[in-house]
Structure 1
Amino acid sequence: MEQMKTNPWTLSVLLLLAGPLGADPDWHVEYPDSFCVVEGSTATIPCSFTHPAGRRVERVVWCTNDEFCRRLVFNVYDSSNVRADRRFRYLGDLVGNCTLKIIKTVKRDTAMYRFLFQANGEGYTGQKGVIVKVTNGEVVKVRSSVTDNVVKEGSQVTLTCTSACSFHQLDVHWYRNGHALSETGPALHLSSLTNNNTGNYTCSLDSSGQKTSAPWSLVVVEDEGRFDWHLTVSVVLKVLWSVFLLLLAGLVFAKRSAPGPEHEIVYSEVVG
């Protein structure tokens, strides 16, 4: 029976496609599902990688539209190149985290992103990659955990910044009546509400405020039926203090009014 002969050039290509791991699961890169981001926002690509024990990672690379990240022209980040685009920041390390942050995304950032790491002279690329689509004109909205805009004092409300695009955000900014709040993130939690929380709330996908939602109005009203323990305790303490002062004043007055020795009446027996 004639044996099948393999062309040496074909074998080399197959080995290159397989990478250094072959069927070894110790070499691996894990990406999220493909997602879209709103133009001008700051996004993150979560990523993790593994390699055989004893290996030391010397270089990490993020590239676009390159199956193996072998061509430098497509690299958006390269740990060995200090001139890489500053909008792309590597949040990972050389151990197992390969997260990439994209600041102020633009339309041309739409691409297939892949991660490459080199350890002890061998390189491995996560060929699955992740498609990032940058869209424009997406409507940013504020959604509330309550249906009514009017709530009573002491209650709580959670506001969430959403978009028609399932964006992965690192930076979401909140405003009340146009003034920036210290809280950041997709969700704004408001608890123990008072009248000071009344206002129009908006969210923005970047600090410039260019991608700002329509306002969501919140009105906090006094709860007339709510029993205020703090006020009740305060009133009771004041009443008790007043009673104590009255009793103390009465005792002092009684002591001062009592006849002393110099005022005692001496009765003498009249001897007839």
Structure 2
Amino acid sequence: MWLLKTISVMLVITLTLLGVCVSNWKVTFNDAAPCALRGSSVVFGCSYVYPSDQTITNSFWYFSSQRKNNDLFLAQEYRGRVEYLGNKDNNCTLKINNLISSDTTQYHFRFETVNKGGETNAWSSKTWVSLSLTGLTTKVQPATVREGERVTLTCVTTCTPSDHPTIVWSRDGHSVSNTEFLASSEDSGRYRCAVQGQENLNSAPVSLDVKCE
């Protein structure tokens, strides 16, 4: 009986110590499933913690791949497009520019340390950032109307961009302020939606044909 109690106490102490150790090593992502527009940029907000007796010696982001070498800063397809905005303290924020379709994958962060006794350690994030990309699609409903009928413009994405950009509209290169209106003959034309400040990231044009009474 005494032996069982001793084993139980030792087990509780061991699990408690393990919990403390694990909690001292952690990577946290601000958004684990961000969405961004193709051609734009995305920022992965990230922070990490580790025991106070450790000093960071190396840190890097890597992506899910069958290849052995998947460090973002060494991969050819990411060359010139990634920026490490973090530091060797607690910030591991990353930015990827000029997003392309192949960027839709899972991203992990890893850091390596050494303690005062010269012992090295390494820790990889237990979760990851899963990036989704979207384009913009214009919908004009209905596409053919008579003067005086109501028209609705909608800009569609396959996921909601994490930075919640402002959508702007144009007709044949001219700014459009209303996304719902009663059609007149001058409303005929080709409509596009785009992201404010990044008007080059626009949708394919969709035509509206307004027929006279």
What TM-score comes out, normalization by structure 1 length?
A: 0.44
Contact 1:203 1:213 survives alignment (8 Å): no
Decide which of 86, 93, 96 is 2:87's aligned counterpart: 93
Q: CA RMSD in A?
A: 4.0
- The verdict on how the C-alpha distance between 1:44 and 1:21 changes in structure 2, with shifts beyond 3 A counting, is farther
Provide the C-alpha distance between the structure 1 equivalents of 2:196 and 2:48, rounded to a whole number of angstroms.
29
SS in 1 for 2:73: strand
Q: Who is 1:126 aligned against?
A: 125
Contact 2:135 2:158 survives alignment (8 Å): no
Q: Who is 2:151 aligned against?
A: none
Structure 1 residue 22 displacement after superposition: 8.4
Structure 1 residue 89 displacement after superposition: 0.8
Structure number with higher strand proportion: 2
Number of equivalenced pairs: 147
Whether 2:120 is the aligned partner of 1:104: answer no
**Identity across matched positions, percent:** 21
- The verdict on how the C-alpha distance between 1:87 and 1:44 changes in structure 2, with shifts beyond 3 A counting, is same
Q: Who is 2:28 aligned against?
A: 30
Contact 1:173 1:207 survives alignment (8 Å): no
Answer with 1 or 2: which has the greater Rg. Answer: 1
Whether 2:115 is the aligned partner of 1:115: answer no
Q: Who is 1:74 aligned against?
A: 70
What whole-Å deviation, never above 9, does each CA across 1:43-99 have from its counterpart, x for those lacking one? 1111110010031111111111169xxx75111137xx9xx7221111111111111
Opposite residue 52 of structure 2, the aligned amino acid is: A
Q: Who is 1:210 aligned against?
A: 201
What whole-Å deviation, never above 9, does each CA across 1:19-47 have from its counterpart, x for those lacking one? x9984211000122312222111111111
Provide the C-alpha distance between the structure 1 equivalents of 2:36 and 2:87, rounded to a whole number of angstroms.
24
Unaligned runs of 5+ in 2: 1-17, 115-119, 140-154, 175-192, 206-213
Unaligned runs of 5+ in 1: 1-19, 141-160, 180-201, 215-272
Q: Who is 2:64 aligned against?
A: 65
Provide the C-alpha distance between the structure 1 equivalents of 2:89 and 2:112, rounded to a whole number of angstroms.
11
- The verdict on how the C-alpha distance between 1:210 and 1:38 changes in structure 2, with shifts beyond 3 A counting, is closer
What TM-score comes out, normalization by structure 2 length?
A: 0.54
Provide the C-alpha distance between the structure 2 equivalents of 1:35 and 1:136, rounded to a whole number of angstroms.
14
Tell me which of the two structures has the higher relative contact order, counting C-alpha pairs closer than 8 angstroms and 6 or more residues apart. 2
Contact 2:135 2:157 survives alignment (8 Å): no
SS in 1 for 2:54: coil
Structure 1 residue 174 displacement after superposition: 7.7
Q: Who is 1:56 aligned against?
A: 55
